[in-house]
Amino acid sequence: MLVLRGLLSPDEDGGAALDVGGTAILFDLADPPLPDGVDGSWVEVRVAPDTVMVWPYEA
């Protein structure tokens, strides 16, 4: 199990960023959408390692 804990910041394009120790982990979100009021909330994300994909990204 892959576990990430951090501060959640949804964006207007239907995605979100999770700040984990100063590093932004970007997420594409599926249905259902995040509930209102979650911006800046501490969250824990748990996923099976075989369901995670990683792509390089330059800011």
Radius of gyration of the chain (CA): 12
C-alpha to C-alpha distance for 19 and 16, rounded to whole angstroms:
10
Q: What are 4-34's pLDDT values in tens digits?
A: 999 999 988 888 999 999 999 988 888 888 8
Beta bridge partners of 44: 5
C-alpha to C-alpha distance for 26 and 52, rounded to whole angstroms:
12
pTM for the predicted model, two decimal places: 0.76
DSSP letter, residue 21: T
